[in-house]
A and B are shown apart, each in its own frame.
Chain A
């Protein structure tokens, strides 16, 4: 009897009051640093005539471009919310292009392609800033340079 009453009183919905993990720290700079690595590595690749060094450049560029793509995806999937898409209707397009461009940088040693990746990440950065990202997702004592 009592258990039936309790069952009737029991809420059907749960409101979570857990500590918030994942950490909630997001910053497109993470992607930007990896993309800058790609850019610099491509420069070094062209400046060198050492086949072994050039081989290492391609290998490291591959890794860095993959990391850039990962960090772009984290911004896209985890940071941006539907209300941000309302504010920036091309948000999906920009993130999608940036992730694609990271793949393009893997395939090539064309510096222009690396620059395109940087430019797309900077567009993500603009949207992150315009949606209050620096304040909402970074520790305040680590205020990023404007």
Chain B
């Protein structure tokens, strides 16, 4: 219940298409801001993070891999929006939480898989 309340407070609207088919433009998500308080991010995790290029802006991406220096390389799911070279790696402290539930639109209401790429 507490998780639901804090996730509700940290809810976000998705804007953009780079996370399709997992997330679509206009999806509304519950984001658990404590997801990485006691656990480390894993490669494949869906995450909301502070944009490394623009302070105050949030991005939703997937952890593509964890670099040797501990930084996280993030990428989108959409094959045509590949960003391997596009987004600077971020520190784990840049993570703002893990989206785990889509509450809008109603027809796709439900839990979001943590780490199965492209599978809902």
B91, A83: Cβ atoms closer than 8 Å: yes
In the assembly, what is the distance between CA of A136 and CA of B84, in Å?
8
- B57 — which chain A residues lie within 8 A by C-beta? 16
Q: Is A14 close to B, CB under 8 A? A: yes
A83, B18: Cβ atoms closer than 8 Å: no
B16, A19: Cβ atoms closer than 8 Å: yes
Known: A11-B11, A18-B15. A136 touches B58 (CB 8 A): no
Binding site secondary structure of chain B: loop
Q: Which of A17, A25, A83, A136 contacts B23 (CB 8 A)?
A: A17
A17, B87: Cβ atoms closer than 8 Å: no
B25, A17: Cβ atoms closer than 8 Å: yes
B13, A24: Cβ atoms closer than 8 Å: no
- B69 — which chain A residues lie within 8 A by C-beta? 131-132
- A79 — which chain B residues lie within 8 A by C-beta? 88
- B73 — which chain A residues lie within 8 A by C-beta? 136
Q: Which of B28, B76, B89 contacts A11 (CB 8 A)?
A: B28
- A18 — which chain B residues lie within 8 A by C-beta? 15-18
Q: Is B43 close to A, CB under 8 A? A: no
A17, B53: Cβ atoms closer than 8 Å: no
- Number of A residues near B (Cβ < 8 Å) is 29
Q: Is A7 close to B, CB under 8 A? A: no
B11, A25: Cβ atoms closer than 8 Å: no
A17, B14: Cβ atoms closer than 8 Å: yes
B17, A17: Cβ atoms closer than 8 Å: yes
Known: A18-B18, A81-B88, A138-B85. A132 touches B11 (CB 8 A): no
B103, A13: Cβ atoms closer than 8 Å: no
Q: Is A20 close to B, CB under 8 A? A: yes
- A131 — which chain B residues lie within 8 A by C-beta? 69
What's the nearest-Cβ distance from chain B to residue A101, in Å?
25
- B58 — which chain A residues lie within 8 A by C-beta? 13-16
Q: Flag the segment in B34-42, B59-67, B111-119 that touches A.
A: B59-67
A11, B18: Cβ atoms closer than 8 Å: no
On B, residues with C-beta under 8 Å from A are 10-19, 23, 25, 28-29, 31, 48, 51-53, 57-61, 67-69, 71, 73, 76, 81, 83-91, 93, 99, 103-104
Give 17 pairs: A residue, B residue, CB < 8 Å, sorted on A.
A9-B103, A10-B28, A11-B12, A13-B12, A14-B15, A15-B14, A15-B48, A17-B16, A17-B17, A17-B18, A17-B25, A19-B81, A20-B87, A24-B85, A81-B88, A137-B88, A140-B84
